[in-house]
Structure 1
Amino acid sequence: MDNDFGAATTIQCATCGVERVGDALPDVCPICADERQFVPPRGQEWTSPERAGANGASLEIVEFEPRVLGIRQHRCPGIGQVPILLQTDAGNVLLEAPNYFDDAVHAEISRLGGVEAIVPSHPHMYGLQSVWSRAFGGAPVFISAADEEWLGVRPENTVIWDGETEILPGVRASQPGGHFPGSNVVHWTAPDGAGVLFAGDTIGPVRDTGWVTFMRSYPNWIPLSAAVVRRIAEHVSRYEFDRLYGNFGGSVLSDASGAVRRSADRYAAWVSGVYDDLT
């Protein structure tokens, strides 16, 4: 790490990858102790980007579509999210933060115009956001007000927001909640004129093409209620979008708004007991 921007002195949870203040570590990571995540059977472990690098951690940029670049994490701490670099005419937005700092990827993003803002969708995705913010001149980090309490490190340029906000011209974020009270989605219109929704963990693409799901906890399979799922679907209906990206590399690449509506109806029916006769 030639220019580590604080990564060399950062401590992070080995399980979720979220950065912490090294001289004030809790006995257990609060994010992992919550029912939406987990502490592994071996117990709490702390690590660092430096240690992760020694163990072969790396990042890789891949193109999902023009101006939408995924950042795949290999052998990194955390749960394996795939952050997205969204390239817009007004500047680049980093959706989620990697759990590792990679000099080569930092150089490549710098070549592509840097980062104007960082938007984590919810606390599981905080990663090394303060490190990445410093790496790009103190890029503001947009934290949902309802989830501010989960910050392990407060980035120097933190923007606390609620409701709906314009991150950059043409890039709007809003908070349907669900997975976390402040869970947010980001909407953008691509150069081909199609709307694109970056849904974080609020709406998760599934293996069956054209369908999505909604969960309080993905690793622990804790569902949401029918009312909350309908609320999420109604919330995102304010946007026109044909494509949807989750935060683990999954996507719905056509009629994504229809997929959300269909999936919400199916989910709500199942958790409401409509199909109990089939069980």
Structure 2
Amino acid sequence: MSDHSVWICPTCGGHHAAADAPPPACVICEDERQWVPPTGQRWTTMAELAAAGYRSDVRELEPGLIGIGTQPDIGVGQRGLLVRTAEGNLLWDPPAFLDEQAVQAVEDAGGLRAISSSHPHMYGAMADWAAAFDAEILLPEVDVPWLNRPVPRLRTWSGSLPALPGVTLVQCGGHFPGSSVLHWAEGAEGRGALFTGDTMLVTPGADRVTFMWSAPNRLPLPERDVRGIVAAVRPYAFDRIYSGWWQPVLPADAARVVESSAERYIQFLRGEAVPGGVR
């Protein structure tokens, strides 16, 4: 590995400040919402990943929306979302790896005005994206201490933020205090879409969502947090949900599904669930 590298944790994908040697530990992985491999902490760099054959995976998901992932996966494996507007583009949940292919794809799509993320596990390579396009990073104020690498332009916010026309960032809490979603009014053919990271997780059948304080460690959210997430998104019209990965996507009727899924989740928390459930 080269001297003075930006250090990347391959377990969570977190980036740490450039230094001659890696940090002694990854603070994100040592938190109870994540995990350290039984074999111990490992580190890599962008150059090492490129040499190992990592590459960007760019796909159009619907008009005005481009997905940017990594092959093979690194960290939590998120797929970023580039939403396009007449006044600039916003990148959501950027993956941990970045190469010229991805930069060129975004350049071809009109560049990049802003970057945001659902929560610290998905900050990814946002500093590199910001530097490449002189883009502004928009993060909930309460979660900024989890940003382990200096970024060139940072604007903090709380509650909600109209980031671009028809693109609104909404703080929901739950998984992290600043856990957020992005509402895209023009998504789903004008019916509205939510980008949720894992603030809300679309389940494998693509017909429900669920809520977790820690997905890998199977730790649930309490009722108050689930109700807080649902209340935060209730003012927004949306018919589709893209969570943090290529699949699954909740294609339609998403606002109703969020409400019914939350009530079912709370039934289990209270010990009131009966077999069969609700749809």
Scaled by the length of structure 1, the TM-score of the pair is 0.92
Asked whether the 8 Å contact 1:52–1:75 carries over to 2, the reply is no
CA shift for structure 1 position 72:
2.0
Cα offset, 1:241, TM superposition? 0.4
Aligned residue for 1:5? Answer: none
Equivalent residue, structure 2, for 1:110: 107
Q: Where does residue 140 of structure 1 map in the other structure?
A: 136
Is structure 2 residue 148 aligned with structure 1 residue 152? yes
C-alpha contact 2:68 2:94 (8 A) present in aligned 1: no
1:263 is aligned to 2:228? no
Where 1:22 maps in the other structure, the secondary structure is strand
Contact 1:83–1:97 under 8 Å retained in 2? yes
Amino acid at match of 2:9: C
Are 1:214 and 2:211 an aligned pair? yes
Determine if the alignment matches structure 1 residue 176 to structure 2 residue 172.
yes
Which one of the candidate residues 199, 204, 213 is aligned to 2:201?
204
Contact 1:76 1:99 survives alignment (8 Å)? no
- Structure 1 stretches of 4+ with a deviation exceeding 3 A read none
Distance 2:184 2:74 in 1: 29
Q: Which amino acid aligns with 1:213?
A: T
- Aligned counterpart, 1:21: 17
Aligned amino acid, residue 53 of structure 1 = A
> Which residue does 2:186 correspond to in 1?
190
**Structure 1: how far apart are the matches of 2:228 and 2:12?**
28
Q: Residue type matched to 2:211 in 1?
A: F
Q: Partner residue of 2:74?
A: 77
Q: Which residue of 2 aligns with 1:253?
A: 251
Which residue matches 1:4?
none
Instruction: Structure 2: state its 5+ residue gaps.
Output: none
Deviation at 1:26, TM superposition (A): 3.1
CA distance in 2: counterparts of 1:218 and 1:277, whole angstroms: 23
> 1:22 corresponds to which letter in structure 2?
A
The range that moved more, 173-182 or 207-216, is: 207-216
Count, aligned residues: 270
Offset at 1:76?
4.7
CA contact (8 A) 2:140 2:158 kept: yes
Q: With structure 2 as the length reference, what TM-score do the two structures score?
A: 0.92
Shift of 1:275: 2.5
Instruction: Select between 72-81 and 167-176 the one with higher mean Cα deviation.
Output: 72-81
The SS at the match of 2:229 is helix
Q: State how far apart, in whole Å, the 1-side matches of 2:275 and 2:262 are.
A: 20
Which stretch shows the higher mean deviation, 15-24 or 167-176? Answer: 15-24
* 1:120 CA displacement: 1.0
Q: In structure 1, list runs of 5 or more residues that go unmatched.
A: 1-7
Cα deviation 1:54-82 (Å, max 9, x = unaligned): 11101111122111111121125311101
Structure 2 residue aligned with 1:96, among 84, 93, 97?
Answer: 93
- Compute the displacement of 1:277 (Å): 8.9
Give CA-to-partner distance per residue, 1:118-154, whole Å, 9 cap, x none. Answer: 0111100111111111111x20111111111111112
**1:40 paired residue number:** 37
Deviation at 1:208, TM superposition (A): 2.1
Residue 93 of structure 1 aligns to which amino acid in structure 2?
L
Secondary structure, counterpart of 2:224 in structure 1: helix
Cα gap change, 1:193 to 1:18, in 2 (>3 Å): same
Q: Contact 2:264 / 2:273 at 8 angstroms: preserved in 1? A: no
SS at match of 1:241: coil
Letter in 2 for 1:87: R
Between the aligned partners of 2:257 and 2:142, the Cα distance in structure 1 is 28
Asked whether the equivalents of residues 206 and 251 of structure 2 are also in contact (C-alpha less than 8 Å), the reply is no
Q: State the shift of 1:209 in Å.
A: 3.0
Moved more, 60-69 or 235-244: 60-69
- Taking the aligned partners of 1:241 and 1:147, their CA distance within structure 2 comes to 26
